[in-house]
Amino acid sequence: MAATALHIVRKVLPDCPVRQWVLSVPFPVRRLLAADARLFGAVVKVFVRVVERFYIDRARAAGIASPKTGMLSFQQRFGGSLNSHCHNHSIAIDGVFAPDPDSCEPRFHFLTPPTPGDIQRVAALVGTRVNRMLRRRGLLGDPSHDSNEAPTLDDALDACRGVGHGRGRFERLDSRGRSQQELFDDSGVRPNRRKSSPWAADVDGYSVEAGVHFGALDRKGREKLVRYCLRPAIANDRLSILRDGSIAFRCKYPTRGRTHRVMQPMEFMARLAAIVPPPRFPLWRYHGVLAPSSPWRKHIVPASEPAEGCSHSAATKADAPSPRRDNDQPRKSTGDASLLTSPAHSAPPEASSKPSWRPNTSYVPWPELLRHCFDVDILDCPRCHSRLIPVAVIRRQEVIDRILQHLALPLTPTQLGHADTVAFDVTGELMPSWVQGVDPEPDPDARAPPGDWDGVDPPAPDL
C-alpha cells in the first residue's frame, strides 16, 4: 500500500489539484457486482465516463478547445464493518489539459469546483446508464433479482456472499471486551445517521460523493488520499477475540450506539471469503490522459526524479565485498554486528556510479520506504553515521549460534509468562501481563464465563 501510493504520487499523478469521487450502488446491485467482477468493471467504466464528460463539458463551456482529463479508479469490495460492500473510489484531476497553441504540448487549465446540482446530475446520469446496462444484460427487472438474489457461480462462494451482505450481530463493548447490553438500554436511542453533506447526492440508491479535494502543491495530501483508496479491508487494531471465542470487529460508524460487530469464527471466515477479490482482475485502473495508451501521458506524468536517499548509492565494485556461500568459513567476529552490516567508511561514489536499484520502475527499496513512512533510517550507522551496506546473509544455525555466544546472547528465545520472568519491550518499559500471555482472572461482568477458550487472550485494555 505505502509503496504503491508513493509510486503513484511520484511518477503518475502530476502536480495538479485532485478530487475524490466515490460511487455507491443500491443493495440489489451490490450483490450482482460481488458475484461478477466483469460487471463491477463495467459499472466503474460507466462512472468514469460520466465524470470525465462532466469536466470536458465544463471546460468547453469556459472556451477551452480539445480538453482532456485523467482519473484513477480503485475498486473496493468491503465496508467499514467487515461487510461486503462493492463501491468505487476515483481520484480525478480537478481540471483539464488542452494543447497549447504555440508549442502544441498539453497545458493544464483550472476549473471551478462542482456544485451540489452538478453532483446530483452526475448521480442521476450514472444511475440511468447503469440500470440501462443491467436491463440490457438481463440482470435487472427479473423477479429473481428483485429478491436480491445474485447469479450463483459457486454454492460455497454464494453462501459466503450471503453472509457478507447480512446484517449480523452488533454489540457495545468496552475496552476490556465486556458487553454493555445490560448496562445501557436501547430504549430512546435513535439511529446515528451521518449528516447530509452538500458534496454528496443520492438518486434511487446511487450515491456520489465529491467532497475530498487537495491542491496542486499538497503532495502529502495526495499520497494520503491514495493510501486511503488502497487501504486493506481489516485493521488489526480494530480486531479482537472475546473470552467466549467470538471475534469482535470495531465498526467505523456505530449503529444505534453499538460499537462492534460480533461474529463466530466461521462467520468471520465467510465474511473474509466474500470480500476477497477474484484473481486476474486489477483493483485500480488508469483512465484518460493517465492511461498507458494515451499519447499525452509522457507529457503529463512527472519526470523521473531521484528518490529520497539516492545519493547514498551502493559502494563501487572494488569496495563491495564478494558474495558469500554457505560452505564458506565464517569470518571472525569483532564483537559487534559487523558480520551482517558494515559501514562504508570510504568516500561516497561519484555521480557516474550506478544506483543500487532501477529508478524507472515502481519498486521502492525497503530502507527508503521505512524512512519515508516512519522517519527511520536503518542504514545509518549509530557510531559513525556512515551508510551501512550488507555483507552477508547467514542461514547456517551453527554460525548463528557462534555469533550469539560471542555476543553473550541467549540461543533460544526467552519464554514469557512465567512468574520468574520479567519481560520488557524495545523501549525498556515493563510489559503488562496480557501481552506476556497471562490470562487474568475472569471478571464477573465479563461477556461470557470461561470455558473451552480459556487460552484465548482477551482484548488489550486501554492503559
**Predicted pLDDT at 61:** 93
The whole-number average pLDDT for the span 392-398 is: 90
| Same domain as 283, residue 215 | yes
Q: Is residue 61 part of a domain?
A: yes
| Same domain as 288, residue 202 | yes
pTM for the predicted model, two decimal places: 0.71
Tens-digit pLDDT profile for residues 14-31: 999 999 999 999 999 999
The domain of 321 spans 313-412
Q: Which of 149-153, 230-234, 367-371 has the lowest mean pLDDT?
A: 149-153
Of the candidates 374, 394, 412, which is a domain's last residue? 412
Cross-strand bridge partners of residue 93: 18
CA atoms of 44 and 121, how far apart (whole Å): 17
Q: Is residue 292 part of a domain?
A: yes
Report the number of distinct structural domains present in the chain: 2
**Predicted pLDDT at 416:** 52
Greatest alpha-carbon span in the chain: 80
**Predicted pLDDT at 305:** 57
Tens-digit pLDDT profile for residues 74-119: 999 998 888 889 999 999 999 999 998 888 888 999 999 999 999 9
The whole-number average pLDDT for the span 5-11 is: 87
| Same domain as 142, residue 18 | yes
Q: Is residue 267 part of a domain?
A: no
Q: Is residue 226 part of a domain?
A: yes
C-alpha cell recorded at residue 287: 483512465
| Same domain as 342, residue 219 | no
CA atoms of 209 and 206, how far apart (whole Å): 10
**Predicted pLDDT at 161:** 83
| Same domain as 318, residue 219 | no
What average pLDDT does the chain have?
A: 76
| Same domain as 212, residue 334 | no
| Same domain as 346, residue 201 | no
| Same domain as 120, residue 228 | yes
CA atoms of 56 and 52, how far apart (whole Å): 6
Of the candidates 412, 431, 449, which is a domain's last residue? 412
Tens-digit pLDDT profile for residues 310-346: 443 333 334 444 444 444 444 443 333 334 455 554 4
Q: How far is CA 322 from the centre of its chain?
A: 39
Q: Is residue 391 part of a domain?
A: yes
What is the band of 254 on the pLDDT scale with cuts at 50, 70, 90? confident
Tens-digit pLDDT profile for residues 175-234: 666 666 544 444 444 444 455 788 899 999 999 999 999 998 888 999 999 999 999 888
| Same domain as 335, residue 375 | yes
For residue 251, which of 41, 83, 84 has the smallest C-alpha distance? 83
| Same domain as 373, residue 294 | no
> Which tops the pLDDT comparison, 169 or 227?
227
